[in-house]
């Protein structure tokens, strides 16, 4: 860790608690700042606040109003999920107050090399694959996964040395709050139309994602999915060396699939079917990881040791268990149409689909081809149940049932299934109509499956 003086004697507002906020507040105090943490939730819902108070950090909880800015702060560190039209944030912007996110602070204090990964889908799986590969055959130091993966970047940065690597999952929300963060290798897995309730327009969302490469130079690398012309064109914005990867498009260099085999610059790496996690989307994630690994000098053995054994990330097409010939998968992280589209495309057996969630104002016609090809029955819940039912009917799916909640959905789905089928939770929607997080939704699904089958989740 670098003991920088940038924040010494500065007064800093940390907006939003949680892991990122509390760890940022503690670090800033260590760096000599006067810190105030503000969260709209009451202290009774924020157990971490007491520890901050015990360390002499001022906390204001239970409300979040612009008058807090009357304390005249030099800087705001904002929880990434708090939008810029939040009244406190908007007032700070109007005052010209600098606003950063926790990942920016982490990047300033770490001595480790940074690998950054962004995209609409596949970020967490790609980050995990890269981290595991970089920890193979490593003579000194280690690779750490951090950021949007659910691990505080500042907390991780405190542990790192110059021998280490930080593999940072960077959401669009996080990237809006960076100034100097500089990944040596940046990865763009894909871009679809996500989080438009936050970003307002797709252009804003794309521009937020592209901030991952804004501080890169010709000495750095930008690994980009070349299976879309839009993404190929976006790569031209970067000053870094562009390294493409592609599953469907023929490319002359980089990482690619050809006739069921994975290559890097014409060097055979492994068979696509030998990747343990199912689905074409995970071939793409693996290709991105291969590109990063080869850029950083890892051997083919290090790559295959991981990709042939890694069985997936929790809540992301996660294999749960098998019972009576049915295989249950938890893809609660599928909070958008594209993620469910890719999940369905990864199975060659009939799927009983559990889906539904928060209504964000879109319909599901785009899923009709996948519904036709893969779905034998569907059990729907949440605000979008009727909209999903319309698309499933148009796809010719005969067995469609709407239920009140996930607890009811699991046994109903089992009744629709037969030996050899896949029972898949892949909601295609955010969880916030019935759950606090997609993780809570996925955990609930696993509990329901365990209760139904009288079996325990098979931990990988």
* Residue 214 sits in the same domain as residue 152: yes
- Asked if the structure places residue 3 within a domain, the reply is no
Examine the domain organization and report whether 207 and 238 are in the same domain.
yes
pLDDT the model gives residue 405: 97
Establish whether 419 is an annotated binding residue. no
State how far the alpha carbon of 455 is from the alpha carbons of 14, 191, 249, 317, 441, in Å.
44, 38, 42, 19, 19
Please check whether residue 189 is in contact with residue 118, taking contact to mean a CB–CB distance below 8 angstroms.
yes
Domain end residue (candidates: 42, 70, 100): 100
Per-residue pLDDT for 444 more than 90? yes
Over residues 8-12, mean pLDDT: 97
Per-residue pLDDT at 126 exceeds 90: yes
Q: Was 238 annotated as part of a binding site?
A: no
pLDDT band at 51 (very low <50, low <70, confident <90, very high): confident
Q: What is the pLDDT of residue 281?
A: 87
**Residue 344 counted as domain residue:** yes
CB 182 within 8 A of CB 155: no
Query: Using alpha carbons only, what angle is made at residue 261 by residues 260 and 262, rounded to the nearest 5 degrees?
Result: 130
Q: Quick one: average pLDDT of 116-121?
A: 94
How many domains does the chain contain in total? 3
CA distance 318 to 328: 9
Strand order in the sheet with 261-264: 143-147, 165-169, 113-118, 185-188, 221-225, 241-246, 255-258, 261-264, 267-271
* Averaged pLDDT for residues 181-197: 88
Q: What is the pLDDT of residues 133-163, one digit of tens each?
A: 999 999 999 999 999 988 999 999 999 999 9
CATH classification of the domain holding 94: 3.40.50.720
pLDDT of residue 194: 65
Q: What percent of the chain has pLDDT over 90?
A: 86
Q: Are 81 and 142 members of one domain?
A: no
pTM of the shown model: 0.81
Cβ atoms of 169 and 127 within 8 Å: the answer is yes
In this structure, the answer to whether residues 191 and 297 fall within a common structural domain is yes
Q: CATH code at 382?
A: 3.90.190.20
The 10s digit of each residue's pLDDT in 255-277 is 999 999 999 999 999 999 999 88
Give the per-residue pLDDT at 460: 54
22 is in an annotated binding site: no
Q: Are residues 298 and 324 in the same domain?
A: no
Whether residue 338 sits in one domain with residue 409: yes
Given 45, 67, 100, the domain boundary residue is 100
**Model confidence at 427, in pLDDT bands (50, 70, 90)?**
very high
Let me know: does 357 contact 440? Beta carbons within 8 Å: no
Same domain assignment for residues 148 and 178: yes
The answer to whether the annotation marks 120 as part of a ligand binding site is yes
Same domain, 90 and 215: no
Return left, alpha or beta for 133; rule: phi > 0 is left, psi -120 to 50 is alpha, else beta.
Answer: alpha
CATH number at residue 197: 3.40.1190.10
- Judged by DSSP in three states, 113 sits in strand
**Any known ligand binding at 402?**
no
Residues 331 and 422 both lie in one domain: yes
Check the annotation: does 372 bind a ligand. Answer: no
Q: Give the position of tokens 């498009």.
A: 249
Tell me the average pLDDT of the chain: 94
CA dist., res. 170 & res. 343, Å (int): 22
Q: Look up the domain containing 34 and give its range.
A: 11-100
Q: pLDDT at position 312, please?
A: 81
Is there a single domain that holds both residue 57 and residue 107? no
Backbone φ and ψ for 37, nearest 5 degrees, come out as -105, 130
φ, ψ dihedrals at 174, nearest 5°: -65, -40
CA-only gyration radius of the chain, Å: 23
The runs of H, that is alpha helices, within 60-162 are 87-95, 102-109, 123-134, 153-157
DSSP, collapsed to helix, strand or coil, labels residue 303 as helix
119 is in an annotated binding site: yes
409, part of any domain? yes
């Amino acid at each position: 860790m670098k003991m920088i003086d940038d924040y010494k004697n500065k007064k800093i507002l940390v907006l939003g608690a949680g892991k990122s906020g509390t760890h940022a507040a503690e670090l800033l105090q260590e760096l000599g700042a006067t810190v105030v943490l503000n969260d709209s939730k009451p202290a009774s819902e924020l157990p971490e606040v007491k520890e901050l108070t015990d360390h002499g950090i001022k906390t204001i909880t239970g409300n979040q109003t612009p008058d807090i800015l009357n304390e005249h702060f030099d800087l705001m560190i904002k929880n990434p999920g708090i939008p810029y039209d939040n009244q406190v944030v908007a007032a700070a912007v109007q005052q010209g107050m600098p606003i950063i996110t926790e990942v920016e602070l982490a990047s300033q204090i770490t001595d480790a090399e940074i690998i950054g990964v962004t995209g609409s889908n596949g970020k967490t799986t790609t980050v995990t694959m890269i981290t595991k590969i970089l920890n193979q055959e490593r003579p000194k130091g280690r690779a750490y996964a951090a950021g949007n993966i659910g691990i505080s970047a500042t907390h991780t940065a405190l542990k790192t040395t110059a021998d280490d690597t930080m593999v940072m999952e960077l959401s669009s929300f996080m990237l809006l709050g960076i100034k100097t963060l500089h990944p040596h290798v940046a990865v763009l897995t894909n871009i679809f139309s996500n989080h438009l309730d936050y970003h307002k327009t797709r252009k804003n969302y794309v521009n937020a994602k592209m901030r991952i490469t804004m501080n890169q130079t010709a000495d750095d690398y930008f690994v980009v999915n070349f299976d879309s012309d839009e993404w190929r064109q976006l790569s031209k914005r970067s000053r870094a060396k562009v390294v493409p990867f592609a599953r469907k498009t023929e490319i002359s260099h980089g990482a690619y699939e050809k006739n069921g085999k994975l290559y890097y610059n014409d060097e055979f790496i492994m068979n696509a079917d030998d990747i343990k996690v199912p689905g074409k989307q995970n071939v793409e994630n693996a290709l991105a990881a291969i590109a990063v690994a080869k850029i950083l000098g890892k051997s083919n053995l290090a790559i295959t040791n991981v990709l042939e054994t890694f069985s997936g990330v929790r809540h992301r097409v996660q294999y749960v268990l098998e019972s009576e010939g049915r295989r249950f998968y938890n893809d609660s992280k599928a909070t958008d149409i594209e993620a469910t589209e890719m999940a369905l495309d990864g199975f060659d057996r009939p799927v009983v689909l559990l889906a539904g969630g928060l209504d964000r104002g879109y319909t599901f016609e785009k899923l009709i081809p996948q519904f036709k090809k893969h779905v034998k029955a569907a059990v729907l819940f949440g605000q979008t149940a009727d909209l999903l039912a319309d698309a499933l009917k148009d796809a010719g799916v005969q067995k469609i049932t709407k239920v009140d909640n996930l607890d009811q959905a699991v046994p109903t789905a089992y009744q629709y299934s037969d030996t050899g089928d896949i029972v898949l939770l892949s909601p295609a929607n955010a969880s916030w109509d019935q759950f606090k997080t997609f993780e809570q939704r996925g955990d609930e699904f696993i509990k329901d499956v365990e209760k139904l089958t009288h079996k325990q989740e098979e931990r990988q």
